[in-house]
Amino acid sequence: MTEDEDFLTKMGNLNVPEVNPTAHPKMVKMAIMSAERSAALGFWLVAVPCYFLACVFMYYFFNRQVSWFGAMFKLSEGLDKTPGIDFMAPIVLVVLPIVCIVINALAITHVHYEKNPGGKPGAKEFVISIKLKTWNIVLILISLVIVFAFIAFSMTENISIRS
Amino acid sequence: MTFLLKRALLKFVCNQNAESALWLSEMTPEQEAQLVQKCHRDPAAFGEVFDLWYKPIFGYIMRRTADYDLSKDIAAETFLKAFLKIGGFKWRGIRLSAWLYRIATNELNMYYRSSKYQPASLHQLLENPQMEKLLHQDAGEEREMLDKELKAHNDYNLIRQRLLELDIKYQEVIALRYFEQKTNSEISMILDKSEGTVKSLLSRGLEKLRNML
């Protein structure tokens, strides 16, 4: 038998380790199977507020009405002029950006309680961490600007009406 | 009479075991195509893909890296990518199992080519603290058991270490052929290379490996 054949036989009969994981595949499976749901949720958390804010921006600054959003604004104008349900429009205009702030803040904030932090016995810590995700932070800031602009607008309008 | 009955029973049990073993290790292309279609209709059906191929794929990664934590990450990345991409998987001659091995091989290649390798999709999943907790949960004695199993095979360890000194193109064919017992046609499907190329890579790779030992 030549050296080459000998080596090939050795490789062919190579005894390899039997890898048979028993515990961790269940955990990996659970994480993977819920991945799509989190990814979809993450998409909507960003996409819906983005679309809403883009429409608000275009409506107020360029006076452009984007399909259903323009119709929604017309409807809210109509509601504003109807006695009894005139409170709906400001609620929609303030509540939606606030919802946007809340969902984006929840997406980047992580709160957890820690017992004996750093090995100190008896110590308790409440840890709040904020992930620096650009998109979420930008959306929160834009929503805050809209809410504050709306509040400032309502206050100045009330003052001017009274005076 | 009793003898005949015993023989018939034994034959039946053997056939049953053979059938279940066949189901676990090798599905027919038609069965795989049906499973893919099922996954297209209902993402939850991917659970079946996971149950069938997680262990062989994890085994392949573990036998190449000999690192439990790294293998866990690469295997999770492989299946996460497969889960997210299975909607776009079209039946063009490549078997589902070969597709999974291909994803795992690409991940391994990325790991061996870059010292800063990070499983990108898995990294996104790990941003969720609950997922991180779940994926990095202690799996009890599994790590020690697998490490012990790897260390018990001296010839394999020697060959694996020498293999790492070869070019990646040789590493992947030799590992698939001799660690995973894949045929040349299976390797050609996994690596998307012709059988002739696989044969020549194997022959040159083995020659280089023999000279190193």
| Beta carbons of B108 and B61 less than 8 angstroms apart | yes
Residue A117 lies in a domain: no
Shortest CB distance from B155 goes to which of A8, A14, A19?
A14
For the segment A127-138, the average pLDDT, to the nearest whole number, is 79
| pLDDT class of B173 with cuts at 50, 70, 90 | very high
Instruction: Provide the pLDDT for residue B14.
Output: 38
Taking an 8 Å cut-off on Cβ atoms, the answer to whether A34 and B79 are in contact is no
Q: Which residues pair with A128 in a beta bridge?
A: A111
Measured distance CA(A23)–CA(A33) in Å, rounded: 17
* Residue among B125, B154, B170, B208 with most chain A CBs within 10 A, to mutate: B125
Q: What is the mean pLDDT of chain A?
A: 73
Instruction: Provide the pLDDT for residue B2.
Output: 42
Indicate the burial class of B104 (C-beta count within 10 angstroms; 0-12, 13-18, 19 or more): buried
The number of domains in chain A is: 1
Q: Which residues pair with A126 in a beta bridge?
A: A113
Measured distance CA(B197)–CA(B190) in Å, rounded: 13
Q: Specify the DSSP class assigned to residue B192.
A: T
Whether residues B113 and B198 fall in one domain: no
Q: Is the pLDDT of residue B144 over 90?
A: no
Give me the total of CB pairs closer than 8 Å, taking one residue from chain A and one from chain B. Answer: 109
For the segment B96-122, the average pLDDT, to the nearest whole number, is 87
Measured distance CA(A70)–CA(A64) in Å, rounded: 8
* Residue among A9, A24, A106, A129 with most chain B CBs within 10 A, to mutate: A24
Q: Chain A closest CA to B30's CA: distance in Å?
A: 24
pLDDT in tens, B201-212: 999 999 999 888
Q: What is the mean pLDDT of chain B?
A: 81
Q: Which residue has the higher pLDDT, B14 or A91?
A: A91
Domain carrying residue B121: 31-152
Site of tokens 């898995």: B122
Whether residues B201 and B101 fall in one domain: no
Residues ≥6 apart with Cβ < 8 Å to B175? B60, B63, B64, B163
Does ipTM surpass 0.90 in this model? no
For the segment B137-152, the average pLDDT, to the nearest whole number, is 80
Whether residues B165 and B142 fall in one domain: no
* Identity at B50, one-letter amino acid code: F
Shortest CB distance from A32 goes to which of B80, B139, B153?
B80
Q: How far apart are the first and last CA of chain B?
A: 58
Both structure tokens of A142: 């834009």
Whether residues B56 and B148 fall in one domain: yes
Whether residues B185 and B84 fall in one domain: no
pLDDT in tens, B69-82: 889 989 999 998 89
Domain carrying residue A157: 23-105+134-162
pLDDT in tens, A106-123: 777 777 777 777 677 778
Q: Any idea which of A54-68, A88-102, B104-118 has the lowest mean pLDDT?
A: A54-68
| Beta carbons of B57 and B78 less than 8 angstroms apart | yes
pLDDT in tens, B4-53: 444 444 344 334 333 333 334 467 888 888 888 888 888 888 899 999 99
Q: Any idea which of A138-147, B73-82, B191-200 has the lowest mean pLDDT?
A: A138-147
Which helix (H) or strand (E) element contains residue A111?
A: strand A109-115
pLDDT in tens, A145-158: 877 877 776 777 66
Q: Chain A closest CA to B4's CA: distance in Å?
A: 36
CB atoms within 10 A of CB B165: 11
Q: Three-class SS of residue A113?
A: strand
The number of domains in chain B is: 2
Measured distance CA(A4)–CA(B66) in Å, rounded: 27
Instruction: Provide the pLDDT for residue B17.
Output: 37
For the segment A36-49, the average pLDDT, to the nearest whole number, is 56
Taking an 8 Å cut-off on Cβ atoms, the answer to whether B134 and A19 are in contact is no
Taking an 8 Å cut-off on Cβ atoms, the answer to whether B55 and A18 are in contact is no
